Chain A
């Protein structure tokens, strides 16, 4: 699939997901996927957690758009786990079709550990700019 898909972790509990699907692929998805009330393909982001050797679903967030920017809240239970993020749709037969898939992402074991990896000036600068790692809303972006 061409276009791009990036997952960005600016803080422990927030992940910024950006995607852009190129036009030929978007048209293919539109023609084959289940659509929502706007006639757009149903899209969702899945956060998968590595459990032993198996990937299990942690959360699913409904999203939309040929290209968009979504902010996902990652719960504390994911501390220390490896996750991957998928952008997927449902094709008409009811099957899931993965559009993009991230590489495995190893999350630090604790927010403190993440904090330790952040240079102190970054912490201080974020602090005086009121950038707080407080978000319990799974859909703060749309």
Chain B
């Protein structure tokens, strides 16, 4: 190991921030766009604030954050701050209406008012990506990229061109925003299939994260198992997740389920639709209930939260020590615990998550036997070579969450489009570039996930069809040597993503 303290337990927290491209400037604040604003208010801004708060206490946050190209693009839209403010004001308006209607909810609503006002102040004065850029430049956090539109990559493993396009375009989008190429690449859904390491190595990616099963089901499990980085034969460092520790946070029975915490699943509007400030009763994301113990929900009381979070952090640190002892008995080495999570868990789904993270980081820095590291600290470590097994972080660690009877037609349609697209990749004109954008947007793993899990199925199906239909129309026109600039302009205006796709397409060989 090239690390400074080989005997210390190492904790590597990696957050993956991703939303599919949900902005639609042609509509008046649609529900899906509100998902973005909820995450900005509840997750992305709080994570930046958490880092700044730690730095003020002279504590390095030392977390890694993967930013998806679709999210980066949405956070660069000119109008997003305006729409974010519009959403904040609607929330405040709704909150005021509720205060008059229900006095018991006043405390929770006042808390929410202050929370939203704080975010408004932030967005008027600074920018999430600028702040993250600064944090990365000062080595307080490490940024990673991921595939362009976050597809479940094993579904296109038989089309090397598409694998390369997704990877190159992901890196290109990151480079365009931050001015350097990242060392790390997040595999969407931790979906690893054979040969993927070579594609990443070809793009000078130094490391990625895999699910523990990719290591643990291998025929020759490295001596340190999933408690140390390993190396593929192509020279890519892989950081295997520790599912057991992660589950203390991730699972239904994990920390976020505490009855005093804010309830994610119940919007205030569910019960009080007649008071909605929006004409179509859009769920604004005003959440004022606590998880409680039953369907009869209590109102959220923020006063008791810090103490609960602190106890959970102590419990987690205790779990780290116990597990470390367990591991060291087998491997005779201090473990590296890789803990990857969806960033949106911290703040959006689990409202108290950023506070948990801040206290955890703070307490870890006070411990002698434990240290926080970032993935690039592990580069240059001694690594065992491993033959990775195909895996994902979905159900049963296989591919079935994104490839099952409910979505098999979508996968087949994508295949057909991609193969037809490949016939025209040498055409290199605006028709082809827009066609590529549409196919890429249709490939998002989110649509397959939503259809498979029955969550916002209509929206996911509609988005998949919209991009597939547009791609097919463009393919037909390419076939007939036709052109339609109005169509290209309209489609790009609606989904303004990958402006420099031509630059990337010309660099990939069939």
Q: Mark A1-42, 1 if CB is under 8 A from B, else 0.
A: 001101011110000101011110000000000000010100
Contact A125/B158 with A8-B389, A16-B217, A16-B390 known, Cβ cut-off 8 Å? no
Distance in angstroms from A43 CB to nearest chain B CB is: 11
- Known pairs A121-B223, A128-B327; list 5 more (Cβ under 8 Å): A10-B389, A71-B396, A121-B225, A121-B331, A141-B400
CA distance A129 to B415 in the complex (A): 36
For B213, the chain A residues whose CB sits under 8 A away are: 131
Asked whether A140 is an interface residue with its Cβ less than 8 Å from the other chain, the reply is yes
CA distance A67 to B400 in the complex (A): 12
Q: Mark B99-142, 1 if CB is under 8 A from A, else 0.
A: 00000000000000000000000000000000000000000000
**Is the CB–CB distance between B221 and A66 below 8 Å?**
no
Q: Mark B400-413, 1 if CB is under 8 A from A, else 0.
A: 10011100110110
Contact A10/B398 with A20-B158, A121-B331 known, Cβ cut-off 8 Å? no
**Is the CB–CB distance between B158 and A22 below 8 Å?**
yes
Distance in angstroms from B338 CB to nearest chain A CB is: 13
For A124, the chain B residues whose CB sits under 8 A away are: 330
For A9, the chain B residues whose CB sits under 8 A away are: 219
Distance in angstroms from A74 CB to nearest chain B CB is: 15
Asked whether B154 is an interface residue with its Cβ less than 8 Å from the other chain, the reply is yes
Asked whether A126 is an interface residue with its Cβ less than 8 Å from the other chain, the reply is yes
A31-63, CB < 8 A from B = 38, 40
Residue in contact with A3 in the complex, picked from B158, B193, B226, B326, CB distance below 8 Å: B158
User: How big is the B interface, by class?
Assistant: 35 or more
Distance in angstroms from B124 CB to nearest chain A CB is: 47
Q: Closest chain B residue to A120 by CB distance?
A: B330
Q: Closest chain A residue to B159 by CB distance?
A: A23
For A18, the chain B residues whose CB sits under 8 A away are: 193-194, 390
Distance in angstroms from A87 CB to nearest chain B CB is: 15
Distance in angstroms from B353 CB to nearest chain A CB is: 24
For A69, the chain B residues whose CB sits under 8 A away are: 154, 193, 390, 398-399, 403
B residues contacting A by CB (< 8 A) are 154-155, 157-158, 193-194, 212-213, 216-221, 223, 225-227, 243-244, 323, 326-327, 330-331, 389-390, 396, 398-400, 403-405, 408-409, 411-412, 415, 419
For B227, the chain A residues whose CB sits under 8 A away are: 125
**Is the CB–CB distance between B225 and A129 below 8 Å?**
yes
The 6 closest A-B pairs by CB, nearest first: A125-B225, A10-B217, A122-B221, A141-B398, A124-B330, A20-B158
**Is the CB–CB distance between A141 and B399 below 8 Å?**
yes
Asked whether A65 is an interface residue with its Cβ less than 8 Å from the other chain, the reply is yes
**Is the CB–CB distance between A142 and B225 below 8 Å?**
no
For B218, the chain A residues whose CB sits under 8 A away are: 10
Q: Mark A95-125, 1 if CB is under 8 A from B, else 0.
A: 0000000000000000000000001011011
CA distance A21 to B419 in the complex (A): 14
Q: What is the number of residues of chain A that contact chain B, defined by CB distance less than 8 Å?
A: 35
CA distance A115 to B250 in the complex (A): 31
CA distance A107 to B220 in the complex (A): 17
Main secondary structure of the interface of B (DSSP, over half): loop
**Is the CB–CB distance between B217 and A131 below 8 Å?**
yes
CA distance A126 to B215 in the complex (A): 10
**Is the CB–CB distance between A121 and B221 below 8 Å?**
yes
For A129, the chain B residues whose CB sits under 8 A away are: 212, 216, 225-226, 243-244
Q: Closest chain B residue to A118 by CB distance?
A: B221
6 contacts between A and B (CB under 8 A): A6-B194, A23-B415, A69-B154, A125-B227, A131-B217, A141-B399
**Is the CB–CB distance between B330 and A40 below 8 Å?**
no
Contact A38/B408 with A18-B390, A128-B244, A129-B225 known, Cβ cut-off 8 Å? yes
For B243, the chain A residues whose CB sits under 8 A away are: 129-130
CA distance A120 to B243 in the complex (A): 21
Contact A40/B398 with A69-B390, A121-B331, A126-B216 known, Cβ cut-off 8 Å? no
Q: Closest chain A residue to B217 by CB distance?
A: A10
Residue in contact with B408 in the complex, picked from A20, A40, A122, A140, CB distance below 8 Å: A40
CA distance A67 to B403 in the complex (A): 10
Asked whether A68 is an interface residue with its Cβ less than 8 Å from the other chain, the reply is yes
CA distance A10 to B218 in the complex (A): 6
Distance in angstroms from B117 CB to nearest chain A CB is: 45
**Is the CB–CB distance between B398 and A65 below 8 Å?**
no
Residue in contact with A141 in the complex, picked from B194, B216, B396, B419, CB distance below 8 Å: B396
CA distance A66 to B405 in the complex (A): 13
Residue in contact with B405 in the complex, picked from A122, A141, A142, CB distance below 8 Å: A142
CA distance A119 to B216 in the complex (A): 12
For A21, the chain B residues whose CB sits under 8 A away are: 158
Contact A68/B399 with A121-B221, A125-B221 known, Cβ cut-off 8 Å? yes
**Is the CB–CB distance between A140 and B398 below 8 Å?**
yes
CA distance A6 to B408 in the complex (A): 21
Distance in angstroms from B153 CB to nearest chain A CB is: 12
**Is the CB–CB distance between A68 and B326 below 8 Å?**
no
CA distance A128 to B212 in the complex (A): 12
CA distance A21 to B158 in the complex (A): 8
**Is the CB–CB distance between B216 and A65 below 8 Å?**
no
Distance in angstroms from A92 CB to nearest chain B CB is: 20
Residue in contact with B158 in the complex, picked from A10, A23, A141, CB distance below 8 Å: A23
**Is the CB–CB distance between B419 and A23 below 8 Å?**
yes
Contact A64/B221 with A69-B399, A125-B226, A142-B403 known, Cβ cut-off 8 Å? no
Contact A64/B244 with A125-B216, A129-B226, A141-B398 known, Cβ cut-off 8 Å? no
Residue of B212, B217, B244, B390 ringed by the most chain A CB atoms within 10 A: B217
